[in-house]
């Protein structure tokens, strides 16, 4: 229903139509970049590490490398995993063809967390 009102075609606007101005928050908030990168060979790992250290969240496509050289793919993933652990980031495989790497300020939610019961 909301999308219908946004995307419907409208005729000429009527006079007296009201608009609501939405204030944006100041520039003090930092933007977070999400990058989609390809892992084609071992040389690409260095660029991915650089982007991760800069604070980007990375969706990494690795299908072509997986089809071509599984041993090299394992070396790449191990190096990225070590980098992620060293900087207290997060890494997770999505499907069989993607990795998601996050910097320290972001975490990948892996399902419901268990609640700890406190005894009184």
* 46, pLDDT greater than 90: yes
- The b/e string for 39-62 (b: 16+ C-beta within 10 A; e otherwise) is beeeebbeebbebbeebbbbebeb
Distance between CA atoms of residues 40 and 72, nearest Å: 10
Task: Give pTM, 2 decimals.
Answer: 0.65
All structural domains of the chain, each given as residue ranges with its CATH number in brackets, are 34-102 (3.30.110.150)
Mean pLDDT along residues 71-96: 92
Q: For residue range 13-29, list pLDDT tens digits in order.
A: 555 567 677 666 655 56
* 82, pLDDT greater than 90: yes
Mean pLDDT along residues 59-72: 93
Strand partners, 98: 61, 94
Q: For residue range 51-64, list pLDDT tens digits in order.
A: 999 999 999 999 99
Mean pLDDT along residues 64-83: 93
* 102, pLDDT greater than 70: yes
């Amino acid at each position: 229903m909301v999308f219908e009102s946004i995307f419907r075609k409208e005729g000429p606007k009527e006079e007296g139509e009201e608009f609501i101005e939405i204030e944006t928050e100041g520039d003090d908030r930092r933007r977070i970049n999400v990058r989609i990168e390809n892992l084609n060979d071992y040389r690409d790992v260095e660029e991915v590490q650089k982007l991760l250290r800069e604070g980007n969240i990375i969706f990494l496509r690795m299908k072509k490398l997986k089809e071509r050289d599984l041993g090299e793919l394992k070396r790449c993933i191990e190096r990225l995993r070590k980098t992620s652990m060293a900087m207290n980031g997060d890494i997770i495989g999505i499907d069989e063809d993607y990795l998601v790497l996050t910097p320290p300020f972001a975490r990948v939610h892996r399902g419901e967390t268990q609640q700890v019961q406190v005894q009184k």
